[in-house]
């Protein structure tokens, strides 16, 4: 019997792989022909970055829901309009007088839209609470008689985007963007209901003065089904549904982050030995000069913010960038007061910037910075053009692809097990019946950009992610 060498077997396997390799268009055609996409609205675009030409596509002009891939749009515009070294600034003022180490007056924390204040996701940044305490001690102040004011007036109400689903607003992914944000605008709520649905106990961590839990639940013998929503007018977390009488604990959006920050400062003052006497009338007999700056807190640089929000798909961080872009546009126009439609200003500014870069924005239907609104839509042609432009642009040496996470673990098991997973950078986006990916390959020096937007598939979310991951393997293997 004739022996077959290992070399011969390897050569045969290589030949087989070469024969079975798919062209980019064949990889696209194989993906879109899956039975779960029979009724789907979808688009696929693959761009050769050297030529800026499409090498494979499917329905490139069709606009589909983008979900969180919209975050790449606002991130790109923020890099272009504000620069990679941009930092949000939050000034803290003393409005009053110091006499013998006693400050009489107001400590005013002026919110300017920084989403990172007290963020648990950026733990290495300067802590504004510690900065305030340290600055008071450095000024020789050992007692404060007056008020600590969290000034949240820079942005007008509503703090959330009006295109967001009201059912999302209470959850940790649906947090609104205030002028004065704190602790990611999240609060852990513990509460107990009795058998008739009445609140018997409630608590908040961190503490949020003024926030309540209101129950509109009814008692049930065997069913526990609770739905939360926020009432900004009270303010309160309102729960509806049915309960047998039990305890609950979950993390929700905080509708009033300013009081949470003020409470944190008050506690920190007392813990540091600075006596704090809350006195509404402390300023009545004080002749005020101009407010003096106590602290100018600065956020991490924009590159760190974008890296974090793209990796974790943080809706609040992303929408805060859109509002910052809108506020910047408003300030340059010298208008009298901040408009309530700040998001509209931000979207218009993003589109103008993209158009100046030569991008056609007609296929971009942008409502917010995060992609949380289902009204956000775009074509894969738009994403292909934008990603191609951003691949050829650097901002003080920073590229969009440098800030995007790798594909590892984000697009199914097949891609995760493939070495390609560390060589592809992408942004995913998902919501009910929506799964999208946009990104680059290879990560270090991209040669290709891709966009896959899938709406209305008939399989599970895990299954469509697996299909898209397999497609990327076929495309770039």
Does the residue 191 lie in any domain? Answer: yes
Does the residue 47 lie in any domain? Answer: yes
Which of residues 245, 266, 299 is at a domain's end?
299
Burial of residue 287 (CB within 10 Å: 0-12, 13-18, 19+) is: exposed
> Do 220 and 352 share a domain, yes or no?
no
> Do 268 and 350 share a domain, yes or no?
no
Which of residues 257, 281, 313 is at a domain's end?
257
Q: State whether residue 192 is helix, strand or coil.
A: strand
Q: Give pLDDT, residue 333.
A: 82
User: Phi first, then psi: what are they for 307, rounded to 5°?
Assistant: -60, -45
Q: Give pLDDT, residue 282.
A: 61
pTM for the structure as a whole: 0.92
144-191, pLDDT tens digit by residue? 999 999 999 999 888 999 999 999 999 999 999 999 999 999 999 999
Distance CA 320, CA 368 (A): 10
Does the residue 175 lie in any domain? Answer: yes
Does the residue 12 lie in any domain? Answer: no
Angle at which helix 70-82 crosses helix 380-391, to 10 degrees, equals 40
Does the residue 334 lie in any domain? Answer: yes
Q: Give pLDDT, residue 337.
A: 75
DSSP letter at 168? Answer: G
> Do 150 and 69 share a domain, yes or no?
no
pLDDT at 316 over 90: yes
Does the residue 279 lie in any domain? Answer: yes
> Do 35 and 68 share a domain, yes or no?
yes
DSSP bridge partners of 204: 189
For the chain, the domain total comes to 3
> Do 315 and 214 share a domain, yes or no?
no
In 39-174, the DSSP E strands lie at: 41-48, 53-58, 63-65, 89-99, 102-110, 143-151
Q: Give pLDDT, residue 278.
A: 87
Rounded percentage of the chain residues whose pLDDT exceeds 70? 94
Does the residue 316 lie in any domain? Answer: yes
> Do 253 and 381 share a domain, yes or no?
no
Does the residue 18 lie in any domain? Answer: no
Side-chain-side CA neighbours of 295 within 13 Å: the count stands at: 23
> Do 286 and 433 share a domain, yes or no?
no
pLDDT tier, 324 (very low <50, low <70, confident <90, very high otherwise) = very high
> Do 459 and 349 share a domain, yes or no?
yes
> Do 51 and 128 share a domain, yes or no?
no
Which one is predicted more confidently, 9 or 273?
A: 273
**Domain assignment of residue 471, given as a range:** 23-84+303-476
> Do 285 and 180 share a domain, yes or no?
no
Rounded percentage of the chain residues whose pLDDT exceeds 90? 88
DSSP letter at 171? Answer: B
Q: CB-based contacts of 124: which residues, under 8 Å, 6+ apart?
A: none
Averaged pLDDT for residues 61-88? 98
User: Phi first, then psi: what are they for 454, rounded to 5°?
Assistant: -125, 125
> Do 48 and 132 share a domain, yes or no?
no
Cβ atoms within 10 Å of 19's Cβ, excluding its own: 7
> Do 355 and 439 share a domain, yes or no?
yes
Which of residues 257, 290, 324 is at a domain's end?
257
Average pLDDT of the chain, as a whole number:
93
């Amino acid at each position: 019997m004739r022996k077959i060498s290992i070399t011969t077997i390897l050569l045969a396997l290589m030949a087989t792989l070469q024969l079975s390799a798919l062209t980019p268009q064949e990889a696209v055609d194989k993906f879109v022909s899956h039975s779960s996409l029979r009724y789907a609205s979808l688009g696929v675009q693959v761009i050769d970055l050297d030529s800026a030409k499409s090498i494979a596509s499917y329905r490139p002009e069709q606009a589909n829901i983008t979900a969180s891939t919209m975050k790449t749009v606002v991130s790109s515009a923020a890099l272009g309009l504000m620069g990679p070294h941009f930092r949000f600034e939050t000034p803290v003022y003393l409005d009053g007088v110091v006499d013998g180490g006693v400050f009489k007056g107001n400590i005013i924390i002026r919110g300017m839209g920084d989403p990172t204040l007290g963020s648990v996701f950026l733990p290495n940044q300067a802590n504004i609470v510690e900065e305030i305490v340290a600055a008071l001690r450095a000024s020789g102040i050992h007692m404060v008689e007056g008020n600590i004011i969290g000034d949240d007036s820079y942005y007008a109400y509503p703090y959330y985007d009006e295109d967001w689903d009201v059912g999302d607003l209470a959850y940790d992914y649906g947090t609104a963007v205030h002028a004065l944000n704190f602790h990611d605008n999240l609060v852990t709520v513990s509460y107990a209901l009795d058998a008739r649905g009445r609140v018997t106990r409630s608590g908040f961590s961190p503490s949020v003065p003024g926030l309540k839990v209101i129950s509109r639940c009814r008692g049930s013998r065997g069913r526990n089904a609770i739905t939360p929503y926020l009432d900004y007018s009270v303010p309160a977390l309102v729960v509806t549904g049915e309960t047998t009488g039990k305890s609950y604990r979950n993390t929700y959006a905080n509708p009033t982050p300013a009081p949470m920050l003020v409470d944190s400062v008050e506690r920190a003052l007392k813990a540091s030995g600075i006596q704090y006497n809350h006195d509404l009338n402390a300023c009545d007999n004080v002749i005020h000069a101009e407010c003096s700056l106590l602290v100018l807190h600065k956020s991490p640089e924009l590159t760190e913010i974008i890296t974090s929000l793209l990796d974790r798909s943080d809706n609040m961080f992303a929408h805060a960038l859109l509002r910052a872009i809108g506020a910047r546009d408003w300030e340059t126009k010298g208008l009298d007061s901040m408009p309530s439609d700040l998001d509209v200003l931000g979207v218009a500014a993003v589109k103008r910037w993209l158009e100046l870069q030569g991008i056609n924005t007609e296929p971009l239907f942008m409502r917010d910075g995060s992609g949380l609104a289902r009204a956000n839509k775009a074509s894969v042609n738009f994403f292909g053009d934008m990603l191609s432009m951003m691949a050829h642009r650097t901002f003080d040496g920073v590229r969009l692809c440098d800030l995007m996470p790798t594909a590892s673990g984000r697009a199914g098991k097949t891609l995760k097990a493939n070495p390609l997973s560390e060589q592809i950078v992408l942004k995913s986006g998902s919501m009910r019946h929506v799964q999208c990916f946009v990104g680059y390959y290879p990560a270090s020096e991209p040669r290709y950009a891709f966009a896959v937007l899938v709406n209305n598939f008939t399989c599970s979310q895990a299954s469509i992610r697996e299909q898209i991951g397999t497609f990327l393997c076929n495309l770039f293997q």
